[in-house]
Each structure stands twice: as C-alpha cells, then as structure tokens.
Amino acid sequence: MSTGYVPVLVVRHKVTDPGTGARTSPLSEPTPMGIRSDPLRKVRPQPRDQLRLAHAQRMLQASGFAASGRSYGGVVGMDADVVLWHDLDAPTWPGARTALSEYDMRFADRLAVANTAATGGEPLAQPSRIVECRSCPWWPVCDVALNEARDVSLVVRGEDAFALRKLGVSTVDELAAMDPATKLATPLVGMPLSDAVILARAWLRDLTVVRRVRKVRVPRADVEVDIDMESFGDAGAYMWGCLLTGKDIGERQGYRPFVTWEPLPDDDEARSFGEFWTWLMLVRTKALAHGFTFRAYCYNELAENRWLLFSAERFAGKPGVPTVAQVNAFIRDPAWVDVFGSVRDQFLCAHGKGLKIIAPVAGFHWRDPEAGGENSMRWYRDAVGMDGAPAEVSQRQRLLEYNEDDVHATLALREWMSSPAMAELPFAGDL
C-alpha cells in the first residue's frame, strides 16, 4: 500500500463481539499496516459502517488522496479498544458483491432517482422508513404513503425492509403471516425474524407494546432518584435533572435541577456537575445509613454515561467533581439502572422504544406539545442568548419543565411495569 489516506470512522455502537477472526489493529496504529487476526473478537455485522467507509473511500479516490492498492476502511466502536478493519474489496455482500460495488450500485440508483425527479419523469423511488425519518421534514408525507401501502418498513427499517422485499414480503400483513420459526438464508440485521413477525402482528392489532416475557420485572428500591441530562451537541451538559422519591431520608423530595445558563462551553458547567454529583452521593449515603436500598435511573444510559465520564475528565479537580474511577464504579454498580434496557429486554415495541413513545402507554404525557430533543436544542439557544441575542427567560422555564417531565416519565414507566396492568398487556407468545 502506497502513501495516502484510508478512511476510519468513530461510531457510537458496538462493532465486535466476543469470538475470533476479526481483523483489528491497536488504537495506537490506526492503519492497515497493523492489521492482525484477533483471537478475542469477531465482527458484528454493521452494513451501514461499510457503506459509509465506501463513500469516504470513493471521495478519497476522486480527490486523489486515497492510498493505492486494496481498499480498507477502519471503525472504532463504542468500546474504543481497537480499530476494526473491513476489506472493502472483499466479496462479502449478497451476490458476491464487495462493499465498494454495493455502494456504487446504490449511488448510481440515487443519481437516477434525482435526475428523473429533476426532469419531471415518473418517480423511480418509493418511500421506505429508516432511522433518519424521525427528523426528516418530509416524514408526514411519507408516513401517509407508507400507511396506505401497509409497507413492511413500518415494522422493520433500513436493510431489513429491503431484505424482506427481496423475499417477496413487502407489507406488514405478509410479514405477520410468516412462520416466526422460518430460517432465512441471510438473517435480519436489526432483530430476529421471530421478533419482526410478532411486531407485525402487534402493528395489525394497533398495539404499541407487547410483553416478551410472562412476568415483567424492573429493579426497585426504597429510595429512588430518576436522572435526565440535557446537553447541547458536543459543547457540554448544561443540566442534570433529578427526581427524588421513596422513603424519607431527610432530603426534600421531588424534582431538583442542577443547571448552568452560561452559554456552553463554560467553566460554570463544572459547578453544576459538581453540585449534582455531590447531592446524588449524599442521597445514596443517607439512604444506606438509614438501612434503605437505593437506586438511580435513567432512560438509555449511553448519553448519561458519556457525559458523566466526559465531565469527570474535563473538570478533574474542580469542587465536587468525581474522579473517572468513581464514575466508572457508579456506572458498573447495579444501583445505576437503565430503564431502556428493561423495556428492550421485556417488551416488543411496534412503534419504537423511545421514551416519548413508551411513556404514553404507561399513561404519562408531556406538558409541552413540542417536547423533544431536537426542539430542546433550539430552546437552549434562545434560553442562553447564543450568537449575541438576548437570553429568553421563558425558554429556560420551558427547558426545566421538559426535563422535569422526562424524569417523571421514567418513574411512571417503572410504576407501570411494577403494576397489575402488566397482566392485561398482550403476551407476544399469544399473538
């Protein structure tokens, strides 16, 4: 391989599983020259990573900066322990295609769709739901078309919908009619076929959630704290909202925000984070001193864990700020509970597993009709007066109420999962 660039992605998902045979190199040597067969890891299939690498490789080649010879692309996953390497010239795709040839075929198809649309021809593409649809301004249009067609992508997304259509399964009805025990030549990527079939049957019955298990369990404690963090992109975490409930330990119960309204990045973030951590540890200490059990909860720990660790690193030595070792110990403690994990493991969710989708099933509703992560970014910009604009105090109150509703939503979920209502929720095995 001659001098030149190779693409490497950093992603927020796992790229390997325990096993053997993955081709990796140390983080200290992020080039194909350090590739070795890994005795501890096997590749976790992630077609999206390979296509993104192929896209970057084609751009490098077009600009004359790509290394010559065989095309490789690397990925650093959520574990951030090695670089996983994909051979983009290997025939690992269906029909013995390579990642590059698969990308070329899809890129040509998209060019044809765009050119046809630009020249007023008959549409060459039909809508299909993917992850990015949730933030697309055209989603209301596609949503109507997909529901009219009862399209299979309403239940399974992306590559799985494409794979099922190739098998002749293009509608939710056709997916629901399949035998869940069917063995596919190429397994689905997003979920087992058995789950997809049950989700389709739930969708046909207009069920948002069905039970995977006969008996739903969620960890509970005498003293509970629900936590929700609000961040502004990668600039920082400006709010840690907490809801204290349970037995009396001499601390005021209810909602308590730890927040900075200084535009991020700003050192005042260290103060709010340090105060949050100090209070949380005080609650835990008091609970245990009273002989009570203690647990803290969030919904999807990836975000909270990221900012717990990053804040400890950035603000090391500041008042109240924990060490990275202390944060890691807390994250590994069973007292830190990801409610999303309990939902994922015990329910099948026909319309997604997001908190804004699941909590209403438990009877909880946000006060703000526009509540959502994307909108909160806009509210934050207004609240702190970014770009020289005057700060809008009303937007600060809006963010506080939004955060408060988020922590109440996780509490509502736990109470629902612990209630007799679970017996009335359909069981997947009965569909």
Contact between 162 and 48 under an 8 Å Cβ cutoff? The reply is: no
- Letter for the amino acid at 153? S
Q: pLDDT value at position 55?
A: 96
Beta strand pairing call for 8-10 and 72-76:
parallel
In a domain, 344, yes or no: yes
Prediction pTM value: 0.72
- Mean pLDDT of the chain, nearest integer: 92
Residue 223 has pLDDT above 60, yes or no: yes
d(C-alpha 238, C-alpha 376), whole Å: 12
Q: Is residue 116 part of a domain?
A: no
CA 180/CA 160 separation, integer angstroms: 15
Nearest to residue 61, comparing CAs of 103, 124, 24? 103
Contact 127, 145 (CB under 8 A): yes
Query: Quick check: is 107 in a domain?
Result: no
- Give the containing element (helix H, strand E) for 43: strand 41-43
Predicted confidence band of residue 1 (pLDDT cuts 50, 70, 90) = low
Angle at 275 between CA 79 and CA 283, to 5 degrees: 85
- 147 and 95 assigned to the same domain: no
Check pLDDT > 80 for residue 135: no
Residue 112 lies in a domain: no
Asked if residue 228 and residue 182 are part of one domain, the reply reads: no
**Alpha-carbon distance values, 212 to 59, 76, 348, 389, 418 (Å):** 44, 32, 6, 50, 15
| The pLDDT value given to residue 387 | 76
- Does residue 3 form part of some domain? no
Q: Supply the DSSP symbol for 152.
A: G
Residue 106 is assigned to a structural domain of this protein: no
Q: Do 189 and 230 share a domain, yes or no?
A: no
Mark which of 54, 77, 100 sits at the end of a domain: 100
Residues 283 and 402 in one domain: yes
As for how many domains the chain has, the answer is 3
179 in a structural domain: yes
Residue 78 structural domain: 8-100
Whole-angstrom distance, CA of residue 275 vs CA of residue 272:
5
Per-residue pLDDT tens digits for 49-107? 999 999 999 999 999 999 988 999 999 998 888 999 999 999 989 889 999 999 999 99
CA–CA separation, 163 and 45 (whole Å): 15
Please, which residues have CB within 8 angstroms of residue 51's CB and are 6 or more apart in sequence?
A: 99, 102, 103, 106
Tokens 């919908």 sit on residue? 161
**Do 191 and 229 fall into the same domain?**
no
Report the CATH number that the domain containing residue 387 is assigned in CATH: 3.30.420.10
pLDDT in tens, 317-354: 999 999 999 999 999 999 999 999 999 999 988 888 89
Mean pLDDT is lowest, of 161-175, 186-200, 233-247, for 186-200
For residues 391 and 345, membership in a common domain is answered with yes
Q: What's the rounded Cα separation, in Å, for the pair 54 and 40?
A: 26
Q: Which of 172, 206, 240 is the last residue of a domain?
A: 206
Which string of b and e fits 233-244 if b means at least 16 CB within 10 Å? eeebbbbbbbbb
DSSP 365-398: --SSTT-SHHHHHHHHHHHHTGGGPPP-HHHHHH
Q: How confident is the model at residue 197 (pLDDT cuts 50, 70, 90)?
A: very high
Residues 156, 189, single domain; the answer is yes
Instruction: Judge if 162 and 236 occupy the same domain.
Output: no
pLDDT of residue 2: 64
Residues 369, 235, single domain; the answer is yes
- What's residue 413's pLDDT? 96
Residues 376 and 285 in one domain: yes
Residue where a domain terminates, one of 206, 240, 273:
206
Q: Which amino acid is at 289?
A: A
134-143, 258-267, 383-392 — which one is most confidently predicted on average? 258-267
Count of alpha carbons within 13 angstroms of residue 246, beta-carbon side: 23
Report yes or no on 202 lying in a domain: yes
Answer yes or no: do 150 and 197 share one domain. yes
Q: Are residues 230 and 197 in the same domain?
A: no
